[in-house]
């Protein structure tokens, strides 16, 4: 479980770096910056919601002590997919004009 967490943290860092580096060049920097900030903020809020859900879901079970690790694994798997979807939406919104 801890090895999976380490791999997912690297995947999260890589996907965030790619998301920010591949911003559209021809569009308004201010609009793209606002979109990037909103996407990263929404991703952080969703990952926080995943943590809370895992904590509530595992309360009172044998895995209750591992909820932070399980929540981090779930969030680490969710965040790169979210950033990929946000990158595709950004491409449609800003590059296809």
**Span 9-55, pLDDT tens digits:** 898 899 988 998 888 887 788 999 999 999 999 999 999 999 999 99
Global pTM reads 0.84
Distance CA 37, CA 72 (A): 22
The DSSP line for 41-84 is HHHHHHHHHHHHHHHHHHTTSTTGGGHHHHHHHHHHHHHHHHHH
Binning pLDDT at 50, 70 and 90, where does residue 97 land? Answer: low
Please give the DSSP secondary-structure letter assigned to residue 94: I
Structure-block tokens of residue 79: 């965040």
């Amino acid at each position: 479980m801890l090895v999976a967490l380490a791999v997912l943290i690297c995947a999260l860092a890589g996907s965030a770096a790619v998301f920010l580096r591949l911003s559209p060049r021809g569009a308004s920097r201010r609009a793209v910056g606002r979109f990037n900030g909103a996407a990263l903020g929404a991703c952080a809020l969703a990952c926080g919601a995943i943590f809370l859900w895992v904590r509530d879901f595992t309360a009172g079970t044998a895995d209750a002590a591992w909820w932070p690790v399980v929540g981090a694994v779930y969030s680490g798997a969710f965040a790169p997919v979210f950033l990929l979807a946000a990158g595709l939406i950004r491409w449609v919104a800003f590059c296809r004009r």
